[in-house]
Amino acid sequence: MNRTPSANAPFGLDSKEVKQLVSFTFDDNAYSGLPGSGGVGGMKFILDLFRENTNHDGSPILGTFFLKADNITDNDTEATPYVKKIWHQAKEEGHEIAMHTYSHPHGLEFDWDADPVKRTPIMDLNDWLSEHEKWYRTMEKPYDPDNEDSGLGVKKEDVVGFRTPFLEYNDNLFTSLEKLGILYEAAVEEGWQEDKNGTNEFWPYTMDNGSPGETFVSEAFYSQKPMIGKHPGLWALPMYVFTAPTDDQCAKYGTKPGLRDRIAAANPDFDKESGKITGMDWNLWFEYFMDEDDAFATMAHTFDLHYEGNRCPFYVGLHSDIYCDKYDLNDLEGEEITRIKANAEHRRNMVRRIMKHILSKKDVQVLTAKDTVRYLQDPELLKLN
């Protein structure tokens, strides 16, 4: 099925006739949070949170884990048996296992001295294919908790999703995904366009004619040709931008007025008029240095824009590692160490709050990224009962 980018719900349905699809997605996943691992939180916290909640129809809350495969072969921050065990637990509990490369390479090189900044692809087709092959080779090995050389026992045909590390995709990446028969890619950014405001985002689409979001970013921010060509049938499940609430909306979400001023003070590149931020948790915590209340307000407000607007699916971009105590010890660099305003427990509490906020709304269905595509292809699944 091919799907043209559109702000309208599929199949001619009105926005109030469709379910609000939500998918919690997690990158990297190097910290298990299991007893004996040396850290609290991480993937165990996420799996426990999912297990403690259900959809309105009683179905389980399931998420998508974009796994970096060398976390179970060359992990210098946690013993690999713990990581492998929690990955296996996620798989057995029905969560989606998806690809995030073997080694998390950069796909682009940035010339920050150029005006405008210039992006240059540094991964060719064979580089991407090599990363994919290493991922499969590692993950397809049968699971054995007592064998350090074991994998996860995933079947190649069951892996249909991919997210590009650092959101640094280039056209070679999408060609490689086509060769593998991958169903969707989940790093293409949407929402930076001036006429997009969270209520009228493009629903997920197939990249038969590239990506409108990438075309805008390339031309408006870099004065370059788009990084994505035509890839018929390959779905883009976009990384929609977050939008921080204005002063008159802050109290609704339990934070102080002046949120956009605080963000601009933390990072002068922030556009206070639009309030838009890259839609990943890392940016909230470590680029704009938000505290728990400001991060929750930004994420909850963005969800509400989707929900009260055209009900475009809401993909929650997270890193389970950030919600482990070990992250602050092992992963923070430079100014991040002194400027962070939320420790791991504060960050975990934000995730608890956003889960509660989302599930407080009727017509919401939380499901894996893979299953959102299934709903997008079937009007009987998408429309309200």
pLDDT in tens, 231-284: 999 999 999 999 999 999 999 999 999 999 999 999 999 999 999 999 999 999
Position 357 scores a pLDDT of 98
Position 201 scores a pLDDT of 98
Confirm whether 278 is domain-assigned: yes
Structure tokens at 191: 């929402």
Q: Which amino acid type is present at position 190?
A: E
Structure tokens at 282: 């890392």
**Chain centre distance of CA 22:** 11
- Strand duo 96-99 + 314-319: pairing: unpaired
Domain count, the chain: 1
Respond yes or no on whether the N-terminal peptide bond of residue 245 is cis (omega within 30° of 0): no
Position 307 scores a pLDDT of 98
Confirm whether 2 is domain-assigned: no
Q: Which amino acid type is present at position 26?
A: F
Confirm whether 3 is domain-assigned: no
What gap in Å lies between CA 60 and CA 271, rounded to an integer?
38
Confirm whether 343 is domain-assigned: yes
Which stretch of DSSP H or E encloses residue 233?
strand 231-236
Position 209 scores a pLDDT of 96
Confirm whether 335 is domain-assigned: yes
Give pLDDT < 50 ranges for the chain: none
What residue spans of the chain are helical by DSSP H?
42-51, 80-92, 125-139, 171-180, 212-221, 247-250, 259-266, 281-286, 292-308, 326-330, 336-339, 344-359, 369-376, 379-382
What gap in Å lies between CA 211 and CA 189, rounded to an integer?
9
Which residues, including other chains, have CB under 8 Å from residue 324's CB and lie 6 or more apart? 31, 33, 39, 40, 41, 42, 45, 344
Residues in the chain: 385
Q: Which amino acid type is present at position 257?
A: P
132: CATH: 3.20.20.370
Position 148 scores a pLDDT of 87
Confirm whether 125 is domain-assigned: yes
**Residue range of the domain that includes 358:** 10-382
Q: Which amino acid type is present at position 333?
A: E
What is the value of pTM for the model shown? 0.97
What gap in Å lies between CA 4 and CA 16, rounded to an integer?
21
Confirm whether 179 is domain-assigned: yes
What gap in Å lies between CA 7 and CA 205, rounded to an integer?
10
What gap in Å lies between CA 385 and CA 343, rounded to an integer?
41
- Strand duo 108-111 + 96-99: pairing: unpaired
Whether 168 and 108 have beta carbons less than 8 Å apart is answered as yes
- Closest to 267 measured CA to CA, from 258, 277, 257: 277
Q: Per residue in 72-110, pLDDT tens?
A: 999 989 999 999 999 999 999 999 999 999 999 999 999
What gap in Å lies between CA 331 and CA 17, rounded to an integer?
44
- Closest to 255 measured CA to CA, from 305, 300, 319: 300
Confirm whether 1 is domain-assigned: no
Position 385 scores a pLDDT of 84
- Closest to 269 measured CA to CA, from 281, 283, 255, 285: 283
- Closest to 39 measured CA to CA, from 285, 352, 328: 328
